Structure 1
Amino acid sequence: MKKSTLIPFVAFLILLGCKSQIVQQKHESSRIEKTDIPIREYTIQAVLWQQQAAEYRALSYQAFNLAQMQLHTILDRKSDYKKPIAIVTDIDETVLDNSPYSGKQIELDETYSTSRWTEWVKEKKANAIPGALDFFNYAKSKDVVVFYISNRSTNQKEETIENLQRIGFPYADQAHVLLKDSTSEKKPRRLLVQKEYDIVLLIGDNLSDFSAIFENRSTIERNRSVDSLKAFFGKKFIVLPNPTYGDWETKGVLEGKYNWTNFQKDSIRHQKIKSY
């Protein structure tokens, strides 16, 4: 090859190499960005919906209106029960709105931590879920006892009671607020209530608030169990909406595993989306 043509050819090769390197760097940069997903980014829409959507308020009112209708029916046949009647309710996202805590997670880009949750609980600033206060005070006016069974830790009992009392919830005391001690399963605490009362309504945002059949189950199992118990929903089981967190995500979508990386969780969520 002549010298006059060799120089432009070498320059072309150098340029091609530089271009290839730039493309590779862009690809690597894109790959790094893909793995560096904000931890709570995926919850933004859910938290916005809970805090901003009138539809969320409407569904909450609907749930408690339905609960009151059912309680009317139950009271009409109160003589059928051998024991005093009681309602069992969850606390978080059922009577108390913790969406500001979820907002703080998004703001700080951090996953759940006991210390941050404890910080929020100690604030005692959670407000009532729409419709909850009116319903439970109505229940009290009819001499129906209310028990709060929650998986908040027992060392948060004082703050929890004070928060409920600040808003005006009835039966917010040591005897009627039953928090998590040795196990997160709620069945033992429900059985404790059943020793002296007939439980006529269960209210919650998580299916494990209603029956042990939903504990530690896959998405398929949870859906099958809902189908088998469909006659109970709206009658004995009253469900509140919660798109932000719950067993549907941890035990269902994420398959009960807590050691997925953030990138793996993001991949799993995308894989489980149904399309056409």
Structure 2
Amino acid sequence: MNISQVMKGIALAGASALLSVCQAADGNEAAASLHHNGLVVTTWNVEHLAYPATDGCTPRTDAEMEKLKAYASSLESDIVALQEVASLKAAAQLFPESDWQLFISEREDSPAYICRKSGRESTQQKVAFAVRKGIKVNDVNTFSPLGLDMVGLRHGLELDVDSELGTISLLNVHMKSGCFVDNYSREEKEACEIFAKQAPILDSWVEAKEKQDSTYVVLGDFNHRLSAPYNRLTMELMKNSDNTVSSLVNTSADMIGCHPYYPAPIDHILVGGFKGDLSKSSTAILFDDMDPKAMLSDHCAVSFELTIPQHPLSTAVKWQVESKEYGYLTRSIYQGATNTINRKPLPNTPWVVMMDIDETVLNNVAYQVGIEQAGQTYHPDTWAAWVKSEKATLVPGVKGFIETVLNKGGKLALVTNRDRTLDHHTWRNLQALGLPVSPENTCLMGRTAEDKSKIDHSMIVNDKDLRRQQIEAGTASCYASANKRHSNFSAHKIVMQVGDNIEDFAKVTQEDADAEALLSSSDGSLVLLPNAMYGSW
């Protein structure tokens, strides 16, 4: 197993649970991005995309549509903000609904006009979003204030999504065209007067997001060159009214526009409230043929990848992920434990092997990789989310050992310090990995508050001793199924204790453990696996 394989496993488990503890509801994972450590957002003015494609100001042949489809596919984006789209059917020609969730502005249709270049009758110009299926969309709203109650003026479109990076708000805009000066407030032309009314509306939306301290993206066709720091709209957006430092970054500020005639871009992606890396620039995705007469649209798509910087792994976690020694040690330890079970005299009365779960039966290194690369440490919420994902793997060698114990007529007592309320997820995880556990042969016991409160430093020394006594006395509360429990596990003799922490052994604490004395008295009945990632030390 290498790092990339582990991270792929985390993504499949829902890395958002590790990064932001916001697992998607209704069983849908928030992590459906093509890019498991990030999210690619794109803006693209498709230039009068109509349905049928032969309609409108820019009619397209079947061959041209095939090229547009290939281009759309090549974007490898997760969320695409579209401008100049006539309808959902028009958008679906490039972003099929089998793969994409499509949303469009609910602005009322405006009267058609005669197109300037072609002399044809126009179709609608609306903004739309294409969101890759699997990404959870929480909310969609038409942002009508940008329309200024003027016929034909484009509305915005708001979208809230859950991603591996947490919840992100996006606003797709197509601002008034015709005002390309840096200070629109000093121009008397109608286009600038309209733009001057839209600007504070956009700024208010940004200000609201700044106060929420949430991640947000404003992207689209601004019909305005925002790259210059002295541009009035740039200055307004980058300055908070309460004089706090704005988090907004124009990721396209250093980008060169793709159109040969217009090197200063008007398509922009602005990102705010984001804790990740914003040092890279947006990228214009060129067409195969960039001759102005052959371009598939008069705008190229512009993309930016939101990524969380990955912190380096600790030596302990890296060792468990990458070293050959870890797998060799666990397999050899379980091989030795299997040999001990096969050769030692076993009781004629019911007997049991008591085992810890984490890093003893289940390998949770993917959780450790996730929190470390996110710059986090253990937290009960992220741990509970990981357990609920049921994506832990098996410690190498454990399956054969468990099968031997059960085949020899023994049973298992799985005594874990996972909270007892999580037993249902632990049980499902164990069964999903092919372990032959059942309520008849296995007693699973998560920890309760009583396991700590009953410690008396005499008969009960550590937080597993109470449960050990219950197994031996036949009073254990074992997981049954569907979050139910049973007390049908009769009194059993514990013939072996297996764990990754010295406190997995009876009446032993980290502070008072005598390793030599334990070794000399165990006769192979005390089995300890390696775990340098965490412990009671």
TM-score by length of 1: 0.68
Return the alpha-carbon distance in structure 2 between the equivalents of residues 71 and 164 of structure 1: 22
CA contact (8 A) 1:164 1:172 kept: no
Q: Where does residue 500 of structure 2 map in the other structure?
A: 205
**Structure with larger RCO (C-alpha < 8 A, sep 6+):** 1
- The secondary structure found in structure 1 opposite 2:321 is helix
Change in 2 beyond 3 A, CA 1:42/1:229: farther
CA contact (8 A) 1:88 1:201 kept: yes
CA contact (8 A) 2:313 2:373 kept: no
CA deviation vs aligned residue, 1:119-144 (integer Å, no higher than 9, x gap): 11111010100000111012111111
1:213 counterpart letter in structure 2: V
Q: Give the one of 308, 314, 317 matched to 1:44.
A: 314
Return the alpha-carbon distance in structure 1 between the equivalents of residues 352 and 416 of structure 2: 16
Q: Give the one of 448, 468, 492 matched to 1:181.
A: 448
Q: Where does residue 93 of structure 1 map in the other structure?
A: 359
CA contact (8 A) 2:338 2:401 kept: yes
The structure richer in strand per residue is 2
Q: Give the one of 512, 524, 527 matched to 1:235.
A: 524
CA contact (8 A) 2:311 2:374 kept: no
The structure richer in helix per residue is 1
Return the alpha-carbon distance in structure 2 between the equivalents of residues 62 and 109 of structure 1: 33
Identity %: 28
Return the alpha-carbon distance in structure 2 between the equivalents of residues 70 and 188 of structure 1: 26
Change in 2 beyond 3 A, CA 1:48/1:233: farther
CA deviation vs aligned residue, 1:64-97 (integer Å, no higher than 9, x gap): 01111110122xx23xx36311100000000100
Pair 1:160 & 2:430 matched: no
- The secondary structure found in structure 2 opposite 1:190 is helix
Change in 2 beyond 3 A, CA 1:42/1:151: farther
- The secondary structure found in structure 2 opposite 1:88 is strand
Q: Give the one of 111, 116, 134 matched to 2:382.
A: 116
1:227 counterpart letter in structure 2: E
Aligned residues: 199
1:154 counterpart letter in structure 2: R
Return the alpha-carbon distance in structure 2 between the equivalents of residues 92 and 82 of structure 1: 30
CA contact (8 A) 1:47 1:99 kept: yes
Q: Give the one of 318, 336, 349 matched to 1:66.
A: 336
Q: Equivalent residues in 2 for 1:100-139 (5 A)? A: 100-139=366-405
- The secondary structure found in structure 2 opposite 1:176 is strand
Q: CA deviation at 1:234?
A: 6.3
CA contact (8 A) 1:66 1:234 kept: no
Return the alpha-carbon distance in structure 2 between the equivalents of residues 108 and 233 of structure 1: 41
- The secondary structure found in structure 2 opposite 1:93 is coil
Q: CA deviation at 1:172?
A: 4.8
CA contact (8 A) 2:350 2:492 kept: yes
CA contact (8 A) 2:415 2:467 kept: yes
Return the alpha-carbon distance in structure 1 between the equivalents of residues 464 and 313 of structure 2: 26
- The secondary structure found in structure 2 opposite 1:203 is strand
Q: Give the one of 214, 235, 244 matched to 2:533.
A: 244
Change in 2 beyond 3 A, CA 1:47/1:199: same
- The secondary structure found in structure 2 opposite 1:199 is strand
Change in 2 beyond 3 A, CA 1:162/1:58: same
- The secondary structure found in structure 2 opposite 1:247 is coil
Return the alpha-carbon distance in structure 1 between the equivalents of residues 413 and 494 of structure 2: 10
TM-score by length of 2: 0.36
Change in 2 beyond 3 A, CA 1:42/1:233: farther
Q: Give the one of 402, 406, 422 matched to 1:140.
A: 406
CA contact (8 A) 2:313 2:369 kept: no
Return the alpha-carbon distance in structure 2 between the equivalents of residues 172 and 115 of structure 1: 28
Structure 1, gaps ≥5 residues long = 1-39, 249-276
CA contact (8 A) 1:149 1:177 kept: yes
- The secondary structure found in structure 2 opposite 1:140 is helix
CA deviation vs aligned residue, 1:168-188 (integer Å, no higher than 9, x gap): 223354961011011250001
CA contact (8 A) 2:312 2:373 kept: no
CA contact (8 A) 2:392 2:429 kept: yes
Q: Equivalent residues in 2 for 1:7-26 (5 A)? A: none
1:123 counterpart letter in structure 2: S
2:494 counterpart letter in structure 1: I
Return the alpha-carbon distance in structure 2 between the equivalents of residues 113 and 201 of structure 1: 31
